[in-house]
Structure formats: structure tokens, C-alpha cells
Amino acid sequence: MSNYPHPIIAREGWLFVALALVVALALSIAGLWLLAVPAWLVALFILQFFRDPPRAVPTVPNAVLSPADGRVVKVEKARDPYLDRDALKISVFMNVFNVHSNRSPVDGVVVGAWYHPGGFVNAALDKASLDNERNALHLATAGGQNVTCVQIAGLIARRILCYVKAGDTLTRGQRYGFIRFGSRVDVYLDPASTPEVVVGDIVSATETILALLPAA
């Protein structure tokens, strides 16, 4: 499990940022401005993509926090395919301009983790939940609630990174993974949970409350 101080730029992007800056700088020194200008724009894009700012953690009891930045594309009753149960499903779509660091939605123990290879259709589409490459975590809270959090690759995203395994303990807002270049996160909750967002809402990882779990 990885837990490190927020470095502003995610460590997953350090190599990409360094290479982009070296290329842009080299082209500038060589005076090749027709190439240098686009190279600097690419470097700036990569720099903003891998930003990883610290976030304030809400202390609302039973709150389920957004595991990702993005736009809510689904709030519905659905079947949790990982725990085979009825659930409230909330999906957040991340575009290439969102922060792609993923954070735990609740305090809990990782009961199980599943990786599934798959395709790379547009992550905003419903079928991405079951067709795309994905990594799911089953989190059990101290109050006896089960939360399933699924990282899903997108049309451009080709790498899901998850740093936790069964037996690890996560605190709400703790960084546990990263998805490169556009993707989606699905959260499955107790169907009696109360959603705090609607489709179309813009949410921030950790700082936005997606739902409230039913009281124990």
C-alpha cells in the first residue's frame, strides 16, 4: 500500500513530466520554435494532468466520499456484480482535465480486490462498467457496511494503478490508486443509502459527499 505526502504532482507522472520538459527545453535551446511551442503545450497538458493536490476530508458520519474528480453520470439502483447484491450505484466520469488520483470513499478494511482485463470503450457509456479493463475493491466499514469501488479504464486510459490488497486498512480520502488519461469510477452501496448528488453534478475527490450510508 502506498501512502506518501502530497507532492502536488503525482509520482505516476514524474517521468512523463520530466521527459516532456526536457524535449521542450531542448527544442527551445535549438531555436526550433515551430516544434518547441507545441512541445511546451504538451508539457503543460501533462503537468496539469498529473497534478495531485491535497484535499480536505469531511467528517460527516456515514458519508461516502467521491473517490475521483469528475462528473456524475449515473445514480441508480443496480446489481453489484462483485458482491452479487442489490445496490445504489453512483458513477463518476473523469475527463483528461480532471485529477486522476483515486482516494478511498470510506474508512474500511479491504476485504477483496479483483482485476479484470477488458476493452477501452468510452468510459462515459454504461457498458464500460462491465466491458472495460477494471479493478474493484470491496471495503468493509466498522459499521458493517460493504462498499464496492471500481476503477475503470476509458477510451484513452490504458493503465489502472491500485496500491492496496486484501487486508489493508484505508481511511477516507486516503490515496490508493491512479488511472492514466480519462476514465471512470463506479461505487456500489447499500441500496438504503441516501444519494447526495444527481447526474450532471461536478464532484471533487474526497471533498464531495456522494451519499450517506444508512445508520447502523
Spatial separation of the C-alpha atoms in residues 183 and 166, rounded to whole Å: 24
* Whether residues 95 and 200 fall in one domain: yes
Q: Is residue 1 part of a domain?
A: no
Judge whether 2 lies within some domain.
Answer: no
- Cβ-count burial of 67 within 10 angstroms (0-12 exposed, 13-18 middle, 19+ buried)? buried
> Do 151 and 204 sit in the same domain of this protein?
yes
Q: What is the pLDDT of residue 126?
A: 60
pLDDT of residue 1: 43
Same domain, 68 and 48: no
Pair 12, 38 in one domain: yes
Residue 165, domain member (yes or no) = yes
State whether 76 and 161 are in the same domain.
Answer: yes
Active site residues: 183
Domain membership flag for residue 186: yes
- 162: exposed, middle or buried (Cβ count in 10 Å: 0-12, 13-18, 19+): buried
On whether both 76 and 145 belong to a single domain, the answer is: yes
Q: Is residue 95 located within the same domain as residue 31? A: no
CATH number for position 179: 2.70.70.10
Q: Which domain holds residue 208?
A: 63-212
- Please name which of 97, 86, 67, 85 lies closest in space to residue 173, comparing C-alpha atoms: 67
pLDDT of the residue at 95 = 86
* Residue 57 resides in a domain: no
Assess if residue 190 is contained within a domain: yes
Q: How far apart are CA 156 and CA 167, in angstroms?
A: 32
Mean per-residue pLDDT pooled into runs of 10, the chain (216 residues): 61 86 93 91 88 89 94 95 96 88 94 80 54 87 94 71 91 88 87 96 95 88
Predicted pLDDT at 99: 85
Residue 80 lies in a domain: yes
Q: How far apart are the C-alpha atoms of 79 and 81, rounded to whole Å?
A: 6
pLDDT for 2 = 43
Q: Are residues 177 and 91 in the same domain?
A: yes
Number of domains making up the chain:
2
- Report pTM: 0.82
184 and 126 fall within a common domain = yes
Identify the pLDDT of residue 210. Answer: 97
Would you say the C-alpha torsion 45, 49, 55, 61 has a positive or negative sign? positive
**pLDDT value of residue 68:** 92
CA-CA distance, 78 to 188, in Å (whole number)? Answer: 8
Please check whether residues 109 and 170 belong to one and the same domain: yes
